[in-house]
Structures are given as C-alpha cells and as structure tokens.
Amino acid sequence: MAFSVLLGKEFETDQAHEGFIEVAESSPFGIDLGITYPATDVDTVMEAAIAAKGTWGKVSVDDRAEVCLEILDRLAANNFEMAHTVMHTTGQSFLMAFQAGGPHALDRALEAVAYAFTEQNRLPDPLMWEKPQGSRDPLVIEKRWIIRPRGVAVLIGVSTFPTWNGYPGIFASLAAGNPVIVKPHPGTILPLALFVRLARGVLTEHGLDANIVQLLVDTPGAPVAKDLVMRPEVGIVDYTGGSAFGSWLEENVTHAEVYTEKAGVNSVILDSADDLGPVFRNLSVSMTMYSGQMCTTPQNLFIPESGITVGGVNVPYDEVAEGFARAVGGLLGDDARAGAILGAIKGTDTLDRIAQATTLGNVLLESREVPSADFPDATIRTPAIIDVDASSDAFGSEMFGPVIFVVRTESTEDSIALARTAAQMSGAITWLAYTTDDDVQEAVIEAAVDAGVSVAFNLIGGLYVNQSAAYSDFHVTGGNAAGNASLTDPAFVARRFVTIGVRIEP
Amino acid sequence: MAFSVLLGKEFETDQAHEGFIEVAESSPFGIDLGITYPATDVDTVMEAAIAAKGTWGKVSVDDRAEVCLEILDRLAANNFEMAHTVMHTTGQSFLMAFQAGGPHALDRALEAVAYAFTEQNRLPDPLMWEKPQGSRDPLVIEKRWIIRPRGVAVLIGVSTFPTWNGYPGIFASLAAGNPVIVKPHPGTILPLALFVRLARGVLTEHGLDANIVQLLVDTPGAPVAKDLVMRPEVGIVDYTGGSAFGSWLEENVTHAEVYTEKAGVNSVILDSADDLGPVFRNLSVSMTMYSGQMCTTPQNLFIPESGITVGGVNVPYDEVAEGFARAVGGLLGDDARAGAILGAIKGTDTLDRIAQATTLGNVLLESREVPSADFPDATIRTPAIIDVDASSDAFGSEMFGPVIFVVRTESTEDSIALARTAAQMSGAITWLAYTTDDDVQEAVIEAAVDAGVSVAFNLIGGLYVNQSAAYSDFHVTGGNAAGNASLTDPAFVARRFVTIGVRIEP
C-alpha cells in the first residue's frame, strides 16, 4: 500500500536541501516510521519563498484559485494514503483519520479557498470616477485596484489534526497570493510533508515556482519556529497547538497577522432530560472519542448536587454520575470497540496526566490499558473519570487527553457560571447542554455568547459535539483564549492581502 | 454662532465625572479656546462601557445601523458648527475644515457602517442542517448564529483630522455592537467632544445607554492612553497619529485588535510631461495645502539630474527645480490666498522642523510668515523647499509640516527605487508620478504595489493626490509602515465581532 512504502525512507520533496534529517516522529500505534526529511534551514526557505512571492502574487485571483482546487483534487484522489499517514502519526483510529484527515480537511481547505476568492473579488472593476463640481466640469479619473499578498505565510502544524487544522491557513494564504512555508509539528510530520510534495508537483505542472509551498522540518532539540516567524518578511502565521506557544506568537509576532487555535476547557451542563439513556450514549462517545485529544472534546460534566430532572422525576447526583461512568465503562469494555473509539495516545505527557488526575478527586472509573490485536505496541488507554467538587481547581484548566471530570455543583445556575469562568480563564471551543427547560436554554446561550463559546443542546443521536462541519459552522469563535480566529470566516482571510489603488488622469 | 458660544465654557457631555479639567487644547489661529471638559478616569469610563456593552451588543444589527445613521444625520445638520471647531483646533482653513471635518468625515463613517452592516449580515439565517448517512436516517440539527461584539473599543484621536480619521473606527465598532471610549488628542479635543455629546443625545433618545459612547480627555502631563488600552476588557483600538505611539500600540496591545494609521513619506516622481505648467499648478497646491499636515501630502519630489522630457524636449534639472519653487512662491505670494491654502500650523515642533530643514540642503524657497487679517495671532508659514542630492538622508523619513525636498536622482529608475526604499523604511500612503512613458508607468505601479503605496498619475487638473474619496479608494493599504489597516474595507470591520454558533437537536 502507498503508505507502507514511505516507511524507513528518505522523503524527497524536490526542494533545495542538504541531505535528510532524522526526526522525533513516532507512531502512537507503535509501528516504526523511520522516515527522514529534507534537511534545510530558515535562510534557505525564506529566500526561496521571497523569490516565489513575486510571481505567485501576480498570478490572477482566478488562476490562483484554480491551482488551489487542482491541489485539492489531487489530495482527494490520495485520501487513503493520507488517512494512513494521519492515523499512524496522530494515533487516530483509521475511520477518524480518513474522515478528519481527508474529506473533512479538504472541506475546510475548499471553504478557505472560496472565502479568499470571494474577498478578493469584492473589489470593484476598473472604472471612471466622476465628482460633480457644480457649474464647473466634473473631476474625472480612472481608478483601478491591485491586490498584493501580505507576505510570506508560515503554517505551524499541530500533532493531532495536521491537515484539518493546517489546510485552512495554508489554502487561505495561497489563494491570496502568499507563498507558504509549512513547519510541521516535530512529532507529526508525514501528513503535511505529503501535502507539500503533492502541492509542489501541481505547481510545477502549471509552470509555477514549486517554492510557493515549502517544507521546513525541525526536531524538539533544535526548534526553528521562533526564528522563522520573527523574520520581517513573514506576513502571516497560522498556528494550532498548545497555549504557551500560541500566546507567545500572539504577543511577539506583531509584524504579521497571527491566527491561533490553542487549548480550551470544554464543558457539558447537565440540567434535565427526557431520558438519560440516550444522553449517556451520546456523551460516552463524545467524551472519549480519540481519547479526548480533540480540541472540541468536552472535559467537564457539570451536575447539580441536588440531581437532575429526568422525565419529570428527580435522579440524585450520585446516580447520574455513576450512571455516566457505567455507560463509559460499558462502551469501552470491549477491547476491539474501545480501540476503534479511543485511537492511541500521541504524547507521553498525556499518560502522566492520567496518573495525576486520579489524585484530584474520587475516581469513578479507572483508566485501563487496552490491548490491540493489530498493533501490539500501541498506547491505548480508556479515560479516567474523576468526581470533584465545584470548589476544586482541578477542572478549570485543560487536562488534555483521556481525563473526564464530573463536577458536583450547587445548581444548574452554578454549573453555567463555572463553565463560563473556565471558558473565560482558559478558553473553550464547545459547550453541550442538556435541558428541557427553555429558560435554562436561554441562560446557557447567553453565557455561551458572553464567553465566546459555540454551544449545542440535547445531542442524543449520531451527532457528537466534537464534530464541526465546514460551510455552516465557525470553528473557534476567536472570542476567548482558545484562539484568536475562526476556521473559517471572512475575517480569517480578509487581512491576507492588501489593496493598492491606482488613479490615472485621463 | 454655535461655535463661539462654546468658548471659555465647561463642555458638558452628561456622563459621570467630577468637575471639569483644564486642557492643553489651543488654536493655531491664535484665538483663545478656554474650554474645559468633564474630568473622569479610566476606571470610571471602563466600568460604564462594560455595563453598556451588555445591552448594545444585544441590539439587532439593523437597529444598531439605524442608530448610527441617526447620529450621522444629526452630525450632518451640525456641519457648520463642526467645521469651526475643526478649523480652530487643527489649523485647517475653513473650507478644508468644512469638507474634511464634515461631509467627507461623514462619508467615511457611513462607509464604515455599511461595511459593518454587510459583514454582519453575511451570516446565514437559522436553518435545519442535514447530513446524509447512507442507508440510515440523515443527521438533522437546527443551527443558528449569534454575533457578539469584540469588546470595549477605544478611539485614540489625532490632532489634525479628528473626525475624518476618527469616525471610521468609531462607527465600525459601534455598528458591530462595541461600546466606544473616545480619547481625543490632548491638543485637539473639541471636535470629538462635540461628536460624543451629540451621539449620547441620540442614544438617550432611543432609550439606550448613553455610555455606549464616552469621552475621556487627558493632558500631555497626565496621559491616560496606555493605561486605557492595556485594560483586558479592551477588544479594539483605533489610532491615528505619530509612528512612535502607533508602533507601541501594535507591539504591546496584543490582547485586542489594533488598527493604526501612522506617518509616512509620500513621493512625487517626475519623469516626463506634455507641459510643465499644469504639473506645477497641481503640485504647488498638493504639496502646500494645509502646510503639509495631511497624511497624504507629498514630501519628496524626485527629478533625474539629466532633467526631464517635456513635450519631446529635454528640460534640465535646475530649470525644473527652480520652476517648481517659483510656482509655489507665486501661488503663495498673495497673503490672503496663501492663508486659505496653508491654514495654520498645529504644533510648535513643526516650526522647529522648518528651521532644521533649511540646514539640510540648498534652499530653493525660504519659508515665510504669512500675516492674517482675520486672525492676527495665527501661526501661518509658507513651506521651505530644499534641494538635496539622492545621497542625502534628509528625505528618507517624515518631516511633518511645510517642508518639501526636491531630490536630484541619477535617473527615473533611481527615483522609483528611492521612493520605494523610503516607503519600505518609513511607510508611505501616496505616490504621484508624471510620465508620458507607458513602461515607466508600469514600473512605478510595480514598485508601488511592492511597497504597498497607492499611486496616482499625471494629475494636472482640480484633483490633488492628497484627496482620497470614500467608497472607491482604500485609504492606507496596511501594506507598509504607514499603518496596518485601511480606512475602510472589509478587513477593517470583519474582526470587530465574533460569531457564536448554536446547535439544537430537534
């Protein structure tokens, strides 16, 4: 298969480089990747990007969009190879890796191209401008407008969803005429390397400078991202990843447009329901899928200490909490099914967090190692579910990975307030609330709007809160610490180019 | 008249304050203003703004636009009063103060409201979203979207065009639901104070919180801008003024959207013409209007040392340079006409720069004091025209005010390169080129696009390069150091609000 022939080889992208470097890329499923990548440096890629900017910036908006679509088409034909590379670098199950790494990532990319195309076409066509001057002849002047790309764009990749999170910035920048330097996460390189190679091929076929898209790979011991983004030629930085580096970018890269998606604390507010069974079925999937390594995974489940109303009857707190833990335990009791839902754990620090979490409250469900028949060396864990009091400071910040807090609150009002505070302090991307009470629903919406968090209600079927859809959502609001921009909306693309007016007296 | 009754009085805006403060506001025309303003502080206005945000953010997009238009309508009825306040605080002649401070400022404001209205209405209406699931039932969910203002907006006013430069940010922020704190330049307060009072009146009449718009006045001895913008509740800062503080804002206010218009070095490239007379007539106005205190005033006139081609005949460098100086001298020889074109000088440091400039090269035209019959204490000066060599470092940075450099270059190619370097080093907003050669025109456009400078060609009639028009220009490209944003385009408004998605399982 296409993926396996890449293993243990030098990955050639046909860009200027001196040999190949060994990297810290590893597979959560425990297979040996052993791929080396072109060894290059910031100076080399920056010089090539600046040279490429001159020509790419002058290609018409239409032609740039067409080249972007051709790259997407070629990527679509490559979805199975990409799915395996995403699976084996991120730890996603094959199904999720296929969906999120392939078609859904392409949806996002297409959305970014469409927005960038639309924004650039909002300019008026050349025209003769007339200003009446009373009894005198009008002032008449020819006006036209030229779009110039912002500068060199940098994409700093994430370890968990390299293509889904990476494509929007890459394609928005490309469609607006900016050359892109792709700097993957040092632990998840292959998916974006594959994209770069494919994109360069399409560019070359179109007679364009392949250096419009370049790869710059680094290692944890010799990171290059800071040096790269601080170059004055950089006009755009797109980033998905941890909050520390995201905030560093926002605070230090003031010479460029910076778009970040960072961490957040997502919450579930449990108030009332018609039936708890479907609620638990939905939650037990959404809170455990890919072992909580999605930016949209709920971490906290807020339940009032007085219990909740189910079908008009009060169900006490402990019964709800234990029922939830039992549902999760049941779902993940079968090793094969657990493996398909959980995927594998990407980072070793995530394992440390599971151990740490169990010291923070009353353990409702222990994390367990799940053996895999297909991948004996895979790192697979069920989540730990910890029961904590509202006064605990355990749940206010992100515990990335398979850690779930069930939080005993004073009331639903208190649940909402706690979710809001967590979002305002640590950021949040999604809330999910269960309620049969319209007033509660309104109160949750009001708090969500205030906290800048997208919110879903009463999901009990096959749609999970973690899943967001291109074209009709605005993933990340940009309105709290979880990120400063949305993927994808007009604001995400409008500043990736500038407009120069030309006036000519006829 | 409405203006004169304001003089020497306490200016009440009907907002919370403790008495009135004396300020450093003064009139370049030498009349005594003596107006005091409400004394308040950052804590007080911030608290009131946060309270106002809650209600204003929930007013519908349509209703917010309507309130903004009502304010504009009321301002339009007040154009003569505003013209006098702009004239006597900025030093603009009455005609310019009326045009730029009144109708043209309102044009910009209306444009900002229109863009903000359009951007907020690009959201889809609430809808039922369906995702096919093959042979199973489709996933169906109700989706809707809610706009939330970014935060508290701050407008930091400029001393020269307080309404023209201030309204775009103010109205874009208001239309997107953000309360606005207006912090005028300490030397030019009255025009924006008048706006604030009028806006608060309209808000009150609509039953809205008047604190959606507030005034915060300070003095050079106790500036409040840094304290104000560093408050975490601030989501937007709009600024026009000197580069030092503008760059400080860009580098330090990383928790908010920052839109700046700073200084620049604008250039004229003289290559060839059919007739020099109309060229000089146009340039002698555009380079002297309002004593070069416009952000769009050309400062440098680049002429090749070999001279230029006029009607097919070579005219030597000295003849061109001296002809230009003579044209300026002639235009400004009559005191009354000079006063009407030049206006008065706003800052004392501008007078120092005139003196300094004469030491930098060969003086082609001395600056002279112009007496004013109407305002005996007015500070009016004709520009100094200085002839310098291309190797001089005099013309590479901004000499704000009535200083013109005529620069002797090796060739038109050299002229273009020098203009480009000045723009890239110091920023630039406008270029003006005179050429009858299509290749030169293309070369100038290419350099202008690269440098991010709007460019005009062969202006010989009643249109001056300084004048920009709402709706069909993009004032400041955001593509060089003269500013990071355009007044006004979609990018100027798209990030003033965030969008929160709501999903409800039916």
The pLDDT confidence band at residue B37, using thresholds 50, 70 and 90, is: very high
Chain segment A7-35, per-residue pLDDT in tens? 999 999 999 999 999 999 999 999 999 99
Q: Does B128 touch chain A (CB under 8 A)?
A: no
Q: Does B500 touch chain A (CB under 8 A)?
A: yes
Q: Does A118 touch chain B (CB under 8 A)?
A: no
| ipTM of the complex in this document | 0.96
* Rounded Cα distance, B467 and B485, in Å: 18
Q: Is the pLDDT of residue A378 over 90?
A: yes
> In terms of residues, how long is chain A?
506
Phi, psi torsion values for A400, nearest 5 degrees = -60, 130
- Please tell me the predicted confidence (pLDDT) of residue A124: 83
Nearest to A494 among B449, B477, B494 (CB): B494
Average pLDDT along chain B: 96
For residues B216, B221, B222 and B227, what is the CA-based torsion angle, rounded to 10 degrees? 90
- Please tell me the predicted confidence (pLDDT) of residue A2: 85
CA distances from B311 to B315, B318, B327 (A): 10, 18, 19
Beta-carbon contacts of residue B273 (< 8 Å; ≥ 6 apart): B279, B308, B309, B310, B311, B434, B435, B436, B458, B460
Chain segment B483-495, per-residue pLDDT in tens? 999 999 999 999 9
Phi, psi torsion values for A255, nearest 5 degrees = -90, 0
Residues of A in contact with B504 (CB under 8 A): 441, 456-458
- Please tell me the predicted confidence (pLDDT) of residue B472: 87
Q: How far is A120 from chain B (nearest CA, A)?
A: 10
DSSP structure string for B368-432: -B---SS-TT---BPPEEEEEETT-SSTTS---SSEEEEEEES-HHHHHHHHHHHHHHH--SEEE
**Do residue B490 and residue A119 have CB atoms under 8 angstroms apart?**
yes
Q: Is the pLDDT of residue B361 over 90?
A: yes
- Please tell me the predicted confidence (pLDDT) of residue B376: 95
Residues of A in contact with B141 (CB under 8 A): 456, 463
Chain segment B177-227, per-residue pLDDT in tens? 999 999 999 999 999 999 999 999 999 999 999 999 999 999 999 999 999
Residues of chain A within CATH 3.40.605.10 domain(s) are 4-262
**Do residue A141 and residue B463 have CB atoms under 8 angstroms apart?**
yes
| Architecture category of domain A266-457 in CATH | 3-Layer(aba) Sandwich (3.40)
Determine the residue among A449, A468, A496 to mutate to test chain B binding: the one whose Cβ has the most chain B Cβ atoms within 10 Å: A449
Looking at domain B4-262+485-504, its CATH class is alpha beta
* Rounded Cα distance, A279 and A286, in Å: 11
Phi, psi torsion values for A437, nearest 5 degrees = -105, 120
Nearest to B448 among A122, A456, A500 (CB): A500
The amino acid at residue B349 is D
* Rounded Cα distance, B453 and A499, in Å: 9
Contact B383, B288 (CB under 8 A): yes
- Please tell me the predicted confidence (pLDDT) of residue A461: 93
Q: Is the pLDDT of residue A472 over 90?
A: no
What CATH topology corresponds to A4-262? Aldehyde Dehydrogenase; Chain A, domain 1 (3.40.605)
Average pLDDT along chain A: 96
- Please tell me the predicted confidence (pLDDT) of residue A497: 98
The pLDDT confidence band at residue A460, using thresholds 50, 70 and 90, is: very high
Residues of A in contact with B150 (CB under 8 A): 479
Which of B:461-490 have CB within 8 Å of A? 461-463, 469, 472-474, 477-479, 486, 489-490
**Do residue A129 and residue B453 have CB atoms under 8 angstroms apart?**
no
H/E stretch holding A335 reads helix A335-342
Residues of B in contact with A478 (CB under 8 A): 495, 498
Q: Is the pLDDT of residue B418 over 90?
A: yes
Residues of B in contact with A477 (CB under 8 A): 148, 498-500
Chain segment B467-484, per-residue pLDDT in tens? 989 988 999 999 999 999
- Please tell me the predicted confidence (pLDDT) of residue B347: 83
- Tokens linked to A315: 């169900």
Beta-bridge partner residues of B384: B403
What is the pTM for the complete model shown? Answer: 0.97
Closest CA to A95 of A80, A75, A110: A80
- Tokens linked to A87: 């699976």
The pLDDT confidence band at residue A231, using thresholds 50, 70 and 90, is: very high
Chain segment A357-373, per-residue pLDDT in tens? 999 999 999 999 999 99
**Do residue A478 and residue B459 have CB atoms under 8 angstroms apart?**
no
Residues of chain B within CATH 3.40.605.10 domain(s) are 4-262+485-504
Q: Is the pLDDT of residue A300 over 80?
A: yes
- DSSP conformational letter for A212: G
Q: Closest-CA residue in chain B for A458?
A: B505
Query: By percentage, how much of chain A surpasses pLDDT 90?
Result: 96
Q: Is the pLDDT of residue A419 over 90?
A: yes
Beta-bridge partner residues of A240: A261
CA distances from B227 to B43, B233, B234, B282, B412 (A): 10, 12, 11, 44, 48
Residues of chain B within CATH 3.40.309.10 domain(s) are 266-457
Beta-bridge partner residues of B128: B142
Region A471-487 average pLDDT: 94
A391 burial (CB, 10 Å; 0-12 / 13-18 / 19+) is exposed
- Please tell me the predicted confidence (pLDDT) of residue B185: 98
Q: Does A282 touch chain B (CB under 8 A)?
A: no
Chain segment A304-346, per-residue pLDDT in tens? 999 999 999 999 999 999 999 999 999 999 999 999 999 999 9
The bridge status of strand A384-389 relative to strand A362-365 is antiparallel
Chain segment B392-415, per-residue pLDDT in tens? 999 999 999 999 999 999 999 999
**Do residue A503 and residue B148 have CB atoms under 8 angstroms apart?**
no
* Rounded Cα distance, B419 and B410, in Å: 13
Q: Is the pLDDT of residue A399 over 70?
A: yes
Other Cβ atoms within 10 Å of A70 Cβ, number: 15
Q: How far is B505 from chain A (nearest CA, A)?
A: 6
H and E: helices and strands count for chain B: 16, 20
Phi, psi torsion values for A206, nearest 5 degrees = -90, 10
Nearest to B474 among A136, A449, A501 (CB): A501
Chain segment A32-63, per-residue pLDDT in tens? 999 999 999 999 999 999 999 999 999 999 99
Chain segment B99-138, per-residue pLDDT in tens? 999 999 999 999 999 999 999 999 888 999 999 999 999 9
Q: Does B250 touch chain A (CB under 8 A)?
A: yes
B/e letters for B308-343, b = 16+ CB within 10 Å, e = fewer, are bbbeeeebebeebbbebbebbbebbeebeebbebbb
Region A87-109 average pLDDT: 97
Chain segment A109-138, per-residue pLDDT in tens? 999 999 999 999 998 889 999 999 999 999
- Please tell me the predicted confidence (pLDDT) of residue A1: 67
**Do residue B148 and residue A452 have CB atoms under 8 angstroms apart?**
yes
